[in-house]
Each structure stands twice: as C-alpha cells, then as structure tokens.
C-alpha cells in the first residue's frame, strides 16, 4: 500500500517563496515561479514552448494547454519578476526536463512540498480574494473541482464581517 501523506493546506506568500528559490538555477527559478503564480499542473508547465509566452515590460502572458478536461483559458498574466524574466529569452521548448526532475526541483527548494501544492495555493488565494468564478476562468476547472484544491482560508475576514453587521 502506498504511503499517504496528508495534504498541506497552509498558504504560502511570495516572500517565503522567493527566499526558497534564490539559490537555484535560472531555469529552475522560472519553472517554480510559473507553478507559484499560475497554479498550473506540472505537465502544463513542462509542455510550454516559447510560442506560448508573450513578454511585456511588467507582465509575462502564458498560454497554457490545459489538461484533464479543464476548459481552455485566456493567456495567464504573471508578474515579470527577475525569476520569470528567464522565460523571455527562450526558444522552442522551454523546459527540457521530465516530470520527475520537475518534482525533484520542487523538493530541492521546498522539502515538505509537492508540485500540486502550488496549484492549491493559487486556487485558494484567487477564490478567497476574488471568488470561484475567477478561479474557473484562471485555471479552467469547474466549481465542483475547486473544492478538491482549496486549502485553508483566512476565516478572520468572516468574523470581521459579522462584527460589521452588528454596527447596522
């Protein structure tokens, strides 16, 4: 029987992410940045070609080929950080490593995490900040599937809203 590890549901902010990837190679930093910002599947990131990437001064737009029945999405805008900037100099195939190497890159920077963690992290943040309709458009999954990815959210906002109701 395979060893089951409990799903990690805590959220990660950009500062924690950036601290962990600073010592990696530029291609590895870009790979992890795509996972972190876009919430894409590891196979969607590995399938990228230079023709799927449009670089602008402050934003990089990535047109992912969605898998597992997800609906196609518009190109995903991600901030053009110093780690993402590497993507703008690539031709043809962007990442030349396999899924296992991608998994190992995640483990090298984040020993306790797995590639799909970043999908959960992004979906949870988008859902909490903007609502599920935005998740659907951003990652192309249906409302029923969103619950499979959602991690813990900040329920303090609900408590504050309840207190605000008393003032009326």
Question: Could you state, in order of their start, the residue ranges of all structural domains in the chain?
Answer: 14-166
Burial 81-94, CB ≥16 within 10 A → b, else e: bebbebbeeeeeeb
For residues 128 and 24, the model is more confident at 24
Cα 119–Cα 122–Cα 126 angle in degrees, nearest 5: 140
Question: Residue 1 pLDDT > 50, yes or no?
Answer: no
The model's pLDDT over 65-124, given as tens digits with 9 standing for 90+, comes to 877 767 778 899 999 999 999 999 988 889 999 999 999 999 999 998 988 899 989 988
| 3-state SS class at 62 | strand
Instruction: Give the whole-angstrom CA distance, residue 70 versus residue 86.
Output: 27
**pTM assigned to the model:** 0.83
CATH fold for domain 14-166: hpI Integrase; Chain A (1.10.443)
Question: Residue 142 pLDDT > 60, yes or no?
Answer: yes
Quickly count helices (H) and strands (E) in the chain: 8, 3
The model's pLDDT over 6-21, given as tens digits with 9 standing for 90+, comes to 667 778 999 999 999 9
What is the pLDDT of the chain when averaged over all its residues?
Answer: 86
Q: How much is the pLDDT for 150?
A: 67
Question: Residue 149 pLDDT > 60, yes or no?
Answer: yes
Residue 105 exposed, middle or buried by CB count within 10 Å (0-12, 13-18, 19+):
buried
Instruction: Give the whole-angstrom CA distance, residue 24 versus residue 136.
Output: 32
Instruction: Give the whole-angstrom CA distance, residue 108 versus residue 53.
Output: 26
């Amino acid at each position: 029987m395979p060893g089951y590890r409990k799903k990690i549901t805590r959220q990660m902010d950009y500062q924690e992410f950036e601290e962990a990837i600073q010592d990696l190679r530029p291609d590895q930093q870009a790979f992890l940045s795509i996972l972190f910002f876009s919430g894409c599947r590891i196979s969607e990131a590995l399938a990228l070609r230079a023709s799927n990437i449009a670089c602008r001064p402050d934003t990089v737009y990535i047109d992912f080929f969605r898998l597992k029945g997800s609906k196609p999405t518009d190109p995903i805008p991600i901030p053009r950080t110093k780690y993402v900037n590497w993507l703008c100099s690539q031709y043809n195939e962007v990442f030349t490593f396999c899924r296992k190497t991608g998994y190992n890159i995640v483990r090298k920077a984040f020993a306790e995490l797995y590639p799909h963690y970043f999908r959960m992290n992004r979906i949870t943040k988008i859902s909490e900040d903007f609502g599920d309709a935005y998740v659907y458009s951003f990652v192309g999954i249906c409302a029923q599937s969103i619950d499979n990815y959602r991690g813990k959210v900040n329920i303090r906002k609900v408590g504050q809203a309840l207190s605000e109701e008393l003032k009326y």
